[in-house]
Amino acid sequence: MFFREEPLTLNAIALASKLRSGSAALFPTDTLPALAAYPDFASQLWKIKQRPLEKPLILMGAKSQDLFDFLLPNALEDAACLAKRYWPGALTMVLPADGPVVEALNPGELNLGIRVPACESALELLSQSGPLATTSANLAGEPPSLTAEDASKYFPDLPLLGPTPWPVVSGQASTVILWRKPGCWQLLRNGAVIIESLEG
């Protein structure tokens, strides 16, 4: 029997194809490495990570419009304003949305967390794949991974975005803010980005 000692490393085009076929995968971001899948196959991420179902996944994309298409129109102006200022970057915005992607990433809720990462290799993959359901590449409750090697130790059977080693990450999770009403946001998690004002 053949045992693969080294993790499977694929370029952006090949990994996007693998993701489209239903696989989960690992790739770098500017904050922490990501465990990812196509939204249609997102349910596996909770199982793979042993993550509680009430903790939603984040939708990452290569550009704002790839993500804004899923949102309800009432929050688009505020989202576009912050995206222009902080994206690509370590800001996750949680905004009103509906449809099958929301149900896949945040079951039973009407909000979707979205982000465009400031990492060239991640953006290359996302440009090839389209938006992906993501979470940090570690088992629930365990320390975050910081490198491709770390991520692969947690998930040795999953393909990695090449080339490796990956770019150095900040090691700090993204800042998460929730849209409450026009001009008003609520801080859900402190992270790598400091938002100067959350209320207009």
DSSP letter (8 states) at residue 94? E
pLDDT band at 7 (very low <50, low <70, confident <90, very high): confident
CATH architecture of 9-189: Alpha-Beta Complex (3.90)
* pLDDT given for residue 195 in this prediction: 83
Of 36, 42, 39, nearest to 137 (Cα)?
A: 36
120-129 vs 12-20: helix crossing angle, rounded to 10 = 50
Q: Sheet with 111-115: list strands edge to edge.
A: 9-10, 160-161, 25-27, 34-37, 132-136, 58-60, 111-115, 91-96, 175-181, 184-189
Count of helices and strands (H, E) across the chain = 7, 10
Q: What is the pLDDT of residue 2?
A: 44
Q: Work out the average pLDDT over 51-80.
A: 96
For residue 125, is pLDDT > 70?
yes
Per the CB < 8 A criterion, the answer to whether 26 and 158 are in contact is yes
**Side chain identity, residue 185:** W
Banded pLDDT at 157 (limits 50, 70, 90): very high
Exposure string for 132-163, b = 16+ CB within 10 A, e = fewer:
bbbbbbbeeeeebbbbbebbbebbeebbbbbe
